[in-house]
């Protein structure tokens, strides 16, 4: 089976290499020509463990980067669309890239090729918008939706070992193709209506966001009461036998707000769907507004701990989470901006891998240190904003430094 993949970001490149690894012939295409050139040279455009080796194994063999949409899709049996679906100002998902992608294949897609939306799209999108759009182009191709559940930093591992595969299908052709594609992964494949598939994706991300906001609200409450060891309280909560050992526990834990490319935009998009359907999304609205407040609250907590506005403040961690160099919607950027706005502008920052990406995306007047040690040597107060394991015992190395543990993860000094 010949597979075309449109959009070679975290999801698209992983999907392309994952199917190549299972022996399918894959062609990828991205409108970002620089990204295509980099990938063709065997260079991964972002940090993602395991994906670099997969690229080295398959590039120029079972995986080729096409020079055009036409070259990618011609002769393909299935075409995955993995382009971005960012949030619009009203929270709804922006489908511009997705529709542009369909435009780009409409002249050349083979009649039998199954078009599969892997981008995250709100419930109702494929049935009410994508399929009708495809039909207005005069195309009769089957359309399906196959949401992706991988996490950044774990893209390869999550894609190659899925705990479940969800396929929203409304015809036999799409069903057959998806079953063949996923057979080598030996995971449960759920064939459901497209709306259900889309809904499952949002159930997942909105639940993660809800657990994080719940935990953050509890941490604010604990701070207000005082004399509460918040980290210890949550760890003891996790010992409840209904939670003990569950991976999900790490989301039932406070920090400085969820970030990244997906949780913020997906919660907002789901709330927008509810609003459009006349359902007041009371819980989601609370989850979102608390999350929007967290960076400001965190900056206030840091500011309260320092002596004066002239103090040098250290910030450890810039990526939205450890194990990733993605800085999209990273709480660090918002915390730093809030500190600068409040007049605390002597900031030393460090991240193990995200510094260059952060510098490129956020033009902030801050000093980029070469190590966590340099930050701790220069600053009296250091805030831990991203829970990189290497920061876990830094307080023991610098007993004189005041650490603000915004992720509740430092070992006791």
Ligand X SMILES: O=C(O)[C@H]1O[C@H](OP(=O)(O)OP(=O)(O)OC[C@H]2O[C@@H](n3ccc(=O)[nH]c3=O)[C@H](O)[C@@H]2O)[C@H](O)[C@@H](O)[C@@H]1O
Ligand Y SMILES: NC(=O)C1=CN([C@@H]2O[C@H](COP(=O)(O)OP(=O)(O)OC[C@H]3O[C@@H](n4cnc5c(N)ncnc54)[C@H](O)[C@@H]3O)[C@@H](O)[C@H]2O)C=CC1
Query: Which residues form the catalytic set?
Result: 262
- If we measure between CA atoms, which residue out of 224, 292, 223 comes closest to residue 256? 292
- Quick one: 31 or 195, whose CB is closer to ligand Y? 31
263 binds, among ligand Y, ligand X, none (CB under 5 to 8 A by kind): ligand X
Phi, psi of 144 (to 5 degrees): -135, 170
- Quick one: 7 or 168, whose CB is closer to ligand Y? 7
Contacts of 205 (CB under 8 A, 6+ apart): 120, 262, 263, 266, 267
Residue 120 binding ligand Y, by CB under 6 A: yes
Residue 363 in tokens: 């033009």
What string marks each residue from 317 to 336 as x (binds ligand X by CB under 6 A) or -? ---xx---------------
CB of 387 to ligand X, least distance (A): 8
Residue 206 binding ligand Y, by CB under 6 A: no
How far apart CA 98 and CA 191 sit, in angstroms, is 23
Q: Which residue in the set 54, 78, 150, 231 belongs to the binding site for ligand Y (CB under 6 A)?
A: 150
Q: Which residue in the set 26, 54, 82, 383 belongs to the binding site for ligand Y (CB under 6 A)?
A: 82
Choices 24-32, 57-65, 276-284, 399-407; region in contact with ligand Y by CB under 6 A: 24-32
Residue 354 binding ligand X, by CB under 6 A: no
Residue 21 binding ligand X, by CB under 6 A: no
12 binds, among ligand X, ligand Y, none (CB under 5 to 8 A by kind): ligand Y
3-state class (DSSP) for residue 280:
coil
CB of 259 to ligand X, least distance (A): 4
- Determine the size of the site formed for ligand Y (CB under 6 A): 27
Element (H, E) at 298: helix 282-305
Choices 15-23, 123-131, 133-141, 150-158; region in contact with ligand X by CB under 6 A: 150-158
Give CA 291 to chain center in angstroms.
Answer: 16
- Determine the size of the site formed for ligand X (CB under 6 A): 22
Element (H, E) at 25: strand 25-29
- How many CB atoms sit inside 10 A of residue 61's CB? 10
Choices 147-155, 310-318, 354-362, 402-410; region in contact with ligand Y by CB under 6 A: 147-155
Residue 344 binding ligand X, by CB under 6 A: no
How far apart CA 334 and CA 229 sit, in angstroms, is 26
User: What's the DSSP call for residue 87?
Assistant: B
How far apart CA 266 and CA 271 sit, in angstroms, is 9
Whether the Cβ atoms of residue 188 and residue 165 lie closer than 8 Å to each other: yes
Handedness of CA 53, 55, 58, 61 (dihedral sign): negative
Whether the Cβ atoms of residue 79 and residue 2 lie closer than 8 Å to each other: no
Range list of H helices, 226-281? 230-237, 263-276
DSSP 160-196: HS-S-EEEE-SSHHHHHHHHHHHGGG-S-EEEE-HHH
- Crossing angle of helices 263-276/194-225, nearest 10°? 110
320 binds, among ligand X, ligand Y, none (CB under 5 to 8 A by kind): ligand X
Choices 46-54, 134-142, 261-269, 392-400; region in contact with ligand X by CB under 6 A: 261-269
Residue 85 binding ligand Y, by CB under 6 A: yes
255 binds, among ligand Y, ligand X, none (CB under 5 to 8 A by kind): ligand X
Residue 255 binding ligand X, by CB under 6 A: yes
Residue 268 binding ligand X, by CB under 6 A: no
Q: Which residues bind ligand X (CB under 6 A)?
A: 120, 148-152, 204-205, 208, 212, 250-251, 253, 255, 258-263, 320-321
Binding site for ligand Y (CB under 6 A): 6-12, 29-32, 35, 82-85, 97, 100-101, 104, 119-120, 148, 150, 152, 261-262
């Amino acid at each position: 089976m010949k597979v075309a993949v449109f959009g070679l970001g975290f999801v698209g490149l992983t999907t392309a290499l994952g199917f190549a690894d299972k022996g399918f012939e894959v062609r990828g295409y991205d409108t970002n020509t620089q990204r295509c050139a980099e990938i063709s040279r065997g260079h991964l455009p972002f940090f993602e463990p395991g994906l670099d080796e997969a690229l080295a194994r398959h590039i120029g063999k079972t995986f080729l980067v096409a020079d055009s949409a036409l070259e990618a899709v011609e002769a393909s049996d299935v075409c995955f669309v993995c382009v971005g679906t960012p949030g619009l100002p009203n929270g709804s998902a922006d489908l511009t890239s997705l529709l542009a992608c369909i435009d780009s294949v409409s002249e050349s897609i083979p009649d039998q090729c199954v078009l599969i939306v892997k981008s995250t799209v709100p419930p109702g999108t494929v049935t009410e918008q994508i399929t009708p759009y495809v039909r207005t182009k005069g195309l009769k191709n089957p359309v399906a939706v196959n949401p992706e559940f991988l996490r950044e930093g774990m893209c390869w591992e999550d894609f190659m070992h899925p705990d479940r595969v969800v396929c929203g299908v409304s015809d036999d052709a799409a069903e057959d193709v998806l079953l063949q594609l996923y057979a080598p992964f030996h995971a449960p494949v759920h064939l459901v209506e497209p709306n259900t598939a889309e809904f499952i994706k949002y159930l997942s991300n909105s639940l993660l966001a809800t657990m994080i906001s719940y935990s953050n609200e509890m941490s604010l409450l604990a701070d207000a009461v005082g004399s509460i060891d918040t980290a210890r309280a949550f760890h003891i909560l996790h010992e409840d036998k209904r939670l003990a050992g569950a991976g999900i526990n790490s989301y039932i834990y406070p920090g400085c707000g969820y970030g990244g490319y997906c949780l913020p935009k997906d919660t907002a998009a789901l709330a927008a769907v509810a609003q459009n359907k006349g359902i007041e999304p009371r819980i989601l609205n609370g989850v979102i507004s608390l999350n929007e407040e967290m960076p400001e609250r965190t900056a206030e907590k840091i500011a309260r701990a320092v002596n004066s506005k002239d103090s040098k403040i250290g910030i450890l961690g810039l990526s939205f989470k450890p194990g990733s160099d993605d800085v999209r919607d990273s709480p660090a950027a918002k915390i730093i901006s809030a500190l600068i706005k409040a007049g605390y502008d002597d900031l030393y920052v460090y991240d193990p891998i995200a510094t260059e990406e952060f510098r490129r995306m956020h033009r902030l007047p801050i000093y980029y240190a070469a190590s966590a040690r340099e930050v701790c040597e220069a600053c009296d107060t250091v805030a831990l904003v991203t829970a990189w394991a290497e920061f876990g015992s830094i307080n023991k190395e610098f007993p004189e430094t005041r650490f603000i543990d915004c992720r509740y993860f430092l070992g006791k000094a």
